[in-house]
Structures are given as structure tokens and as C-alpha cells.
Structure 1
Amino acid sequence: MAPPSPHRSSILNLFKAGVAPVDIIKRLGVPSKTVYDSISRFKKLGTFLDRRGRGRKATVVTPDRIKAVKERIRRNAHRSIRKMAEGMKISRRSLGRVVKDKLKLTCYRVRKTAILSEATTKKRLERSKKLLQRTRNDEHLVTVFSNEKLFTVQAEFNPQNHRVLAETSEEAFANGRTIHQASHPASVMVFGAVCADGKSPLLFVDQGVKINKEVYISQILEKTLLPWAQTHFNGRHWVFQQDGAPAHTAKLSQQWCETHLPAFIPKDEWPPSSPDLNPLDYSIWGVLQNKVNAKPHSSIEALKKTLLKEWDALSPDYLRATIDAYPRRLRAVIQKRGGRMEHN
């Protein structure tokens, strides 16, 4: 019997925090079958652990068959299980068992990401080490992570998940095989900040307003972030995080943070090109977008209404689980010597 997935505990934590299965799949980067099977087992048995004696008896797989599969994967790791099974004239299920149970391989989706220069990789490594040291005092639990995000009125389209069953291509076209999208849909820029036990109000940036250092300080930091944080922490110590956007790293913005905030991560201490280290980027914005853009919106106002609703619906358990992943991600960057981790 195949060993249980090492992701089961993470799946359980996110599921119990109210995260939808499709968002868990995206957040953890694991196969959809693993997530749905784990949730089904939990609902039925109240646990993710396998029952004793469960499962079919292992099918005999010859060493030659295992060796042949391993060699094919070595030559082309991008070949699908279906095509490989057809080429080897065995069932997809049998080949899947060889890949998963015998070779201990997992199928991951190929993702697009920016190339990191040698200098950027070095900075990510050095700065991640220093930030990890700070988490040993649980500083990340009082850190306010922040960022901006652009949302559009269009429904999110994923060709991997959007399918239609039909007898002919003409019927499929008529039933929605083609999704029409505007080149430049109406959109709204939002600012949000989160910590282990709360989140700021969601701020909408006015149409046509560019977030330069003046707008960032006056509209975002002074009017939104600081009043919320002072009320939320109520005298407790807290730390502010922002990424390397020009408005954030501007001298005037850095001086404002140094003067008005109890503590913040300066621009030369946050790793560059690191959305994989900001909870908003590696989880929250994606979860929000999946829910908000599940269907198109008729107007910007309708989009704003849905954004506010879904932002308010983010549960405390989910926020804590997302922040708890931050130290693990720092360790993953360090393990990769400053490179990208497998799942963003």
C-alpha cells in the first residue's frame, strides 16, 4: 500500500480553516486527487490516517519494468503518464503506481517565473538567513505583511480547468468552448495588509491614480495602515513589511517608516524578487482572486463589493496558517541557496 501523502496535515489545517479545496490545491501545489481524497477521508473517518489493513494488495511489478519507466522519465520528464502508458502498452493506473509507489515521484505543474540573476539570488540567500533568525523570537507573528494587487472585472480563465463535454467541436463552441476576454478590462488596484491575528481594511486606490511615494505615504501609510495597526496592536510591538516597489523603497517612504512606525524591515533587508516570501503573494491574493473572479462582474462597483465580502471572509485560522508558513519558506529559499522554491 502506498504511504500517505506528506501534505495531509497541511491539507487538514487549511480545510479546517475554511479554505476551499481548489484553493488548497493552488496553495500547496499538490495534485487535486490528493486533496479531495484526503478531505473525503477526513469527513468519513474524522482523521486523515489510513485504517489498518486498508488498501489492495500490492501488484507484482518487475524490476525490469521499473527500470524501463525510470529511464523513460530520465529522457523526458515532461511526458504525460497517459502518453507514456500508451507507449509502453500498460494501463495508466499500473504506470501511475510505478511512478508514485516505486519511484516515489510526484507530478508537478510547470510554472512560469522570472529568472533570478546571480546578484539577486545571493541577496535572497543572505537576507533570508537574517530574517529567519528574527523568526526565532516569533517576530513574524507580530509582522504586518503588505502589498498591492490589481483585480479586473473579468472572470479568471484557466485552460487546464475550464473544459466542456460535447460530441463535436461545433457543439463545444456553442456550449462555451471559447471564452471572450477584453484586452484591457476595467480594473481596480487594492492595498491590503495582514498579520497572524488580523487584517487591515481593504483600500481601493482611485482610478487613474499612480502609486508614487507621495500617494503611498499619504493615502496608504498615513490614512489606512497606521490607524488600523495602532488600534489592532493597542500598544503592543509590531513590525511592518513592504516589498521592493519604487514607492516603497523611495527615500521619503523609508524615512516616514523610520519616524512613525515602531519597527519595519528596511529596503536593504527584504529579499529582492521575493513574492514567494510574502503571505499576500504566495497565498492570500490567489485565494481572493479565485473567489472574486470565479465569475465576471458587470462594473467596478460590483467588483469592489465582492472584494470586500471575500476579504472580510478570510478566517483567523487561515491567516495564522498562512503566516506560519513564512519561516518554512525562508528555510526553503536558504536550502535552494537563494533560488526559487518548488511551489510559490
Structure 2
Amino acid sequence: MDEAMLPLDFKNVKTDFVYVTEKNGEDGRVIPTAVKSPSFPAQRMFAAGYSYRGPTRFYAVPGKAKVNADLFIKKILKPMFDIDVPKLYGADAWKVILHMDSAPAHTAKRVVTWLKSRRTKSITKEEWLANSPDVSPMGFFANGYLKQRLAQRNYTTEKGMIRAAQEEYKKIPLEIFQKSLDSWPARVLAIHKAKAFQAPNY
């Protein structure tokens, strides 16, 4: 699983900027009216995961919320393991191994204790491999793919953007998820095919 940011610019188009110099005015050309300086759009965090059997639901993290251990458990881990994992794996849900990075909210003692209380298997911080796109499918595939698909959508509100993102994530074909996992290094893929579950990234 992994988390990432989606920009809330609500335009999905490139912005045209006009730069004016003194020479523009001196040579007789019309100087355009002043334009506002571009500003960085607000962002909204989301979380999602996928495995060889398919994706989880798409989770929009509450706006302006600080992602700490309590929020991570309540809004992401609990619904994933209460709903998504059983839906994907059925009776084999107990075999799933959670794969996430070492973000503070992921490695907090409260999170580790919660996972142990449910007997949920996970790749620990000590076992986490080098920080590389090759071992982070959400990072090198899903996040970028989703943003490309959203660029084709039209929405004008935050709710519209979230709804579009949920729809586009759900529409990603299973075979594409599987191909992204097949590109993993052999030792990582062996873990995943043995029921590992790639979770969200913040």
C-alpha cells in the first residue's frame, strides 16, 4: 500500500503564461494586461493498495488532517483489512503480508501493536528493502498511472476530483496490476506471490 498527493487545480489543462520585457513595449508591440503569478494548487492525500488479485478501494485522507498512527489505523488500515483484503482473498486473507514503506505513521508503535493484535503479517522496517522505485509498485506504477488518467477527466470541485480518482483507480485492468508486479525483482516478487499485499504510501 502507499499514499500520494493529487493536485486540486480543478482545470486539467496547461496554463498559458505571457512574459513581458521592456523591449516588447519599445518595438511597438501591444503589451498584454498583467496576469497573476501562478500559484501551486492545493493537494489532497489519498491512499490505496493492490495485490496480484487486484486493487483495494481508493481512500481520500480527510482534508488538512495530520496523518498520525490513529488516523492511519482508523481511516486506512482497518477498512483495508476488514473489507478489502477479505474481498480479495476470502479464506486466505490471514495469509496476506502487508508491504508498506517506513513512513512515521506506518512504523509507529501503536500501528505495530495493532497489526500484532490482529495477527496481521507485515514486512517490518528492518526488512524493508532499499528505497527504490523497483520495490514500490505504488510509486513507480499506480500513482503515476492514476494521475495520467485523471488528466483526461473534467471536474470542477474537490468531490468531483475524488470521485473521478476512485472511478479511474477501480477501472485499472487486473492484468496491468499483475504486469507491474511481475516487473519486481525476483526476491520481492516471491514474497508478493506468496500472498504479499502492496499497501498505500503517504
Under a length normalisation based on structure 2, what TM-score does the superposition of the two structures give? 0.72
Displacement of 1:273:
2.5
Cα distance in 1 for residues equivalent to 2:147 and 2:13: 8
Match of 2:45, SS? strand
Cα distance in 2 for residues equivalent to 1:277 and 1:250: 21
For residue 223 of structure 1, what is the aligned residue in structure 2?
79
For residue 197 of structure 1, what is the aligned residue in structure 2?
53
One-letter amino acid of the counterpart of residue 267, structure 1: K
For residue 239 of structure 1, what is the aligned residue in structure 2?
97
One-letter amino acid of the counterpart of residue 98, structure 2: F
For residue 312 of structure 1, what is the aligned residue in structure 2?
170
Q: Within 5 Å, which residues of 2 pair with 1:153-232?
A: 153-154=8-9, 155=12, 182-232=38-88
Q: Is 2:125 the counterpart of 1:270?
A: no
Cα distance in 1 for residues equivalent to 2:187 and 2:151: 27
Match of 1:326, SS? coil
CA contact (8 A) 1:153 1:296 kept: no
Cα distance in 1 for residues equivalent to 2:37 and 2:184: 35
Residue by residue over 1:58-113, the C-alpha shift from the partner in whole angstroms, topping out at 9 and shown as x without a partner, is xxxxxxxxxxxxxxxxxxxxxxxxxxxxxxxxxxxxxxxxxxxxxxxxxxxxxxxx
**Structure 1 unmatched runs, 5+:** 1-145, 158-179, 332-344
More strand by share: 2
For residue 116 of structure 2, what is the aligned residue in structure 1?
258
For residue 248 of structure 1, what is the aligned residue in structure 2?
106
Residue by residue over 1:116-167, the C-alpha shift from the partner in whole angstroms, topping out at 9 and shown as x without a partner, is xxxxxxxxxxxxxxxxxxxxxxxxxxxxxx000110133386xxxxxxxxxx
One-letter amino acid of the counterpart of residue 193, structure 1: G
Q: Is 2:167 the counterpart of 1:303?
A: no
Match of 2:175, SS? helix
CA contact (8 A) 1:156 1:294 kept: no
Displacement of 1:274:
2.9
Runs of 4+ in 1 over 4 A off after TM superposition: 328-331
Residue by residue over 1:223-271, the C-alpha shift from the partner in whole angstroms, topping out at 9 and shown as x without a partner, is 2344211232112121111101100011111222222144210111112
Change (3 A) 1:291 1:329: farther
Q: Indicate the structure (1 or 2) with the bigger Cα radius of gyration.
A: 1
Cα distance in 2 for residues equivalent to 1:183 and 1:294: 22
Match of 2:91, SS? coil
Q: Is 2:149 the counterpart of 1:291?
A: yes
RMSD: 2.7
For residue 199 of structure 2, what is the aligned residue in structure 1?
none
One-letter amino acid of the counterpart of residue 152, structure 1: P
CA contact (8 A) 1:277 1:329 kept: no
Cα distance in 1 for residues equivalent to 2:38 and 2:161: 16
Change (3 A) 1:269 1:329: closer
Cα distance in 1 for residues equivalent to 2:67 and 2:143: 19
Residue by residue over 1:300-340, the C-alpha shift from the partner in whole angstroms, topping out at 9 and shown as x without a partner, is 11211210121111001101101111125969xxxxxxxxx
Change (3 A) 1:241 1:330: closer
Whose relative contact order is higher, 1 or 2, with alpha carbons under 8 Å and at least 6 apart?
A: 2
One-letter amino acid of the counterpart of residue 224, structure 1: M
Match of 1:190, SS? strand
CA contact (8 A) 1:240 1:264 kept: yes
One-letter amino acid of the counterpart of residue 76, structure 2: I
Cα distance in 1 for residues equivalent to 2:77 and 2:158: 24
**Structure 2 unmatched runs, 5+:** 15-35, 190-202
Cα distance in 2 for residues equivalent to 1:329 and 1:151: 31
Change (3 A) 1:260 1:330: closer
